[in-house]
Amino acid sequence: MTKAIPVLDVSGFLSGEKVAQEEFPRMLREAFETYGFVTLEGHGLNDEGIRSTYEEAKRFFGLPEEIKRATSISGVGGNFGYTPFGQEHAKDDARADLKEFYHFAQTGYEQPVSKEVPGFIASGRTLYGELETLAARLLEAVAISLGLDSGYFSGFVQGGNSILRVLHYPPAPDAPADAPRAGSHEDINLITLLVGSSADGLEVLDRDGDWIPVMAHAQNLTVNVGDMLQNLTGGVLRSTTHRVVLPPGEQRNQSRYSLPFFLHPVGPMPLDPIMGDSDTYPKWTAAEFLNHRLTEIGLK
């Protein structure tokens, strides 16, 4: 039997259907406890907006290196603007990932703009807003599943440090077979929403030690638990190791684009375990957690 992460339809929960208000959170918790990942149907994101963001991303990453680097911001740990190749790596792997990316963030910082791609900022901003709204609704389901008030997370994520990462993995025909497009890692944040990528390559490590491919379908959304939510729940919800591998054969000659949205809380949010294993997981704030991890992965 081929392994696959669960597929859930979120439309009933989002529209307020009575049965779905109980059933969807229950199924979401089960998926997050078992796999740490779930694929969502019926999420309601605008397909045209997603296509537009991907097209604008291709234009941006196709610009000369000096123009892209002009949209970098120093001293912010890569949280805003452009980050070039060779800078980020998995926390336990010194090899740099084969990727470059641009971060859209909260409006506290002006997004650095390149006049050569005027639609890039507009499309990214729009998608950021849609994903932020959807992520907040999914956290309502998470709260319900944990026996908390449905609004438990709302005060912590409004004005938080969430980012939309626009990723480009370039062609790598001559890279070693085990070279990481994105090395084995866990996400830092509360939850991640990944819009269907332009190509396959994402794999999730299950409890049995098997790597499960997550297929790239533009109409679906992949959602996973981050380390902050795992810490908060004392390991009840799993932040699962995942990676992006190089494809075989001719696919190595093609770029891969991806749009993950990392939902981060405000810095003062306490991440002390409220259930589960309170001895294994440390007591610290979201800001302390984030700064520690950004140092581990080479962004600070």
Report the distance separating Cα 215 and Cα 5, nearest Å. Answer: 10
pLDDT reported for residue 255: 86
Residue pLDDT, tens place only, 195-254 = 876 667 789 999 999 999 887 666 789 999 999 999 999 999 999 998 888 777 777 778
| Structural domains for the chain | 7-296 (2.60.120.330)
Residue pLDDT, tens place only, 120-173 = 989 999 999 999 999 999 999 999 999 999 999 999 998 888 999 999 988 876
Report the distance separating Cα 52 and Cα 40, nearest Å. Answer: 21
Q: Could you tell me where the DSSP H helices lie in the chain?
A: 11-15, 18-34, 47-61, 65-69, 118-145, 154-157, 227-232, 286-296
Task: Name the residue with tokens 């109409």.
Answer: 219
Residue pLDDT, tens place only, 244-293 = 887 777 777 788 888 999 999 999 999 999 999 999 998 999 999 988 88
Cβ contact 55:234 at 8 Å: no
Cβ contact 194:40 at 8 Å: no
What's the chain's average pLDDT?
Answer: 87
**In the chain, % of residues over pLDDT 90:** 58
> What is the DSSP pairing of strand 221-225 with strand 37-41?
antiparallel
Q: Which residues contact 89 (CB under 8 A, 6 or more apart)?
A: 95, 96, 97, 183, 297, 298
Query: Six-digit token pair at 256?
Result: 């891969």
Is the pLDDT at 92 greater than 60? The verdict is no
Confidence of residue 29 (pLDDT cuts 50, 70, 90): very high
Where on the phi/psi map is residue 75: left (φ > 0), alpha (ψ -120 to 50), or beta?
left
Q: What angle do CA 197, 199, 201 make, to 5 degrees?
A: 95
